Chains A and B, each alone.
Chain A
Amino acid sequence: MKYVLHYGVLILLVVVALGVPAWAAFAPIHPDSREQIYEIPKGTWARRQAGEKFDLIPAEIHLTLGVRDVLVMKNHDDVPQLFGPVLIMPEQSFRLPFGKAASYLFTCPLHTSGLLTIVVDPEPERGWSRLLWRTTAAARSSVAP
């Protein structure tokens, strides 16, 4: 009986050890949303006028084709804002879908370099690539506040 229990646990561990990576490598990715959203909060212009310096968006944004490949920028401030490459009116949003994996360079006055880079990575293929993507995504979400 004892051996049966030991073997049972061992088999279960082996199944988990092999099954989880196999699932991560081969299961299709079904994101809740393909949008990566950045927002300009109300009062941003006033804060800037007061001399405060801060970045609203990173100088480099990473997206993944087929998973998170739509950049959405929303302006909740009271004045028009140049956000990334475009001028966005108050309470207006701009939705930019990407259909090709590539590195896109935009002028962006919000950054000291004056540039915004959007890197669209290829869709993670079944196998090693998808396993690696899921591992990285899990690591990122555990680090994110």
Chain B
Amino acid sequence: MKASSRTLHRSGSRSDLSPRVRRGLGSVLFVFAFSTHAAAEALRAGVFDPPRAAPDFALNASDGSELKLSRYRGKVVALGFGYTHCPSVCPTTLAYLAEARKKLAAAGSDFQVIYVTVDPERDTAANLKAFLASFDPTFIGGTGTPGQLAQVRTAYGITLSDRIYVDTLPKSTYFLDHSSFVYLIDRAGALRAMAPFGVSADDIEHDVKVLLSR
């Protein structure tokens, strides 16, 4: 570090620059070098080429407001589908997403998790809010009418089974098989990648960082 500043000082024209300008120039070069490196870095999730615009939707948010995907332009969004009574897949996915967000530290403020229910009968906005808050209070849930949710699933290619009942459990208890991956949407609202179930928090953090730097 010392050597480079000495070199800068010795070089005729640059030595005329004020320290403030030099610092600014250094920051610009650093940001350029960092962003070039990040842009070249490959995502670890599955990648769409070319990326398409993520279909927008309007649902009821778990915080009581209207949930529009386009509201989150400027942030990297992880979009998942599931339900609060899910015994394993959804809690695991949400735990990884929460861990990834924690690892992102300050950059995590530009990362938004949206979890859309596939079970509107049991997942009210309040239930979703409580469920998601147990992972991360910033996570937003989405619910709506069965028709609205079916439209969103179709737009994203999400599959959903009929209700699965277990003989030994009460009739009110049922399970659902659903697509378990998470989409990653960039700041511009383009559907960039799909992280299959089981992708680690480290890999999610890596990909979100790459997308945040683009």
Q: Which residues of A contact B (CB under 8 A)?
A: 71, 80, 82, 85-89, 92-97, 99, 102, 104, 106-107, 109, 114
Contact = CB atoms under 8 A, between A and B. Distances in A.
Given A86-B194, A87-B157, A109-B159, A95 B49 contact: yes
Contacts of B157: 80, 82, 86-87
Contacts of B177: 107
26 contacts: A80-B157, A82-B157, A82-B159, A85-B181, A85-B194, A85-B196, A87-B157, A88-B48, A89-B52, A92-B49, A93-B48, A94-B46, A95-B47, A95-B49, A96-B45, A96-B194, A96-B196, A97-B42, A99-B44, A99-B203, A102-B198, A104-B198, A107-B159, A107-B177, A107-B179, A109-B159
Contacts of B12: none
B165 interface: no
Interface in B26-54: 42, 44-50, 52
Given A99-B203, A102-B198, 11 more contacts: A71-B46, A82-B159, A86-B48, A86-B157, A88-B48, A89-B52, A94-B47, A95-B46, A96-B47, A97-B42, A104-B198
A107 B178 CA distance: 8
Nearest to B158: A87
What band does the interface of chain B fall in when counting residues whose beta carbon is under 8 Å from A? Answer: 20 to 34
A96 to B, nearest CB: 3
Instruction: Tell me the dominant secondary structure on chain A's binding face.
Output: strand
B196 A104 contact: yes
Nearest to B42: A97
Contacts of B198: 102, 104
A92 B48 contact: yes
Contacts, number: 51
Contacts of B159: 82, 107, 109, 114
Nearest to A98: B196
B174 interface: no
A85 B179 contact: yes
A97 B46 contact: yes
A48 B47 CA distance: 27
Which of B45, B52, B157 counts the most chain A CB atoms within 10 A? B157
A107 B160 CA distance: 9
Contact of B194 (A89, A94, A99): A94
Contacts of A106: 196
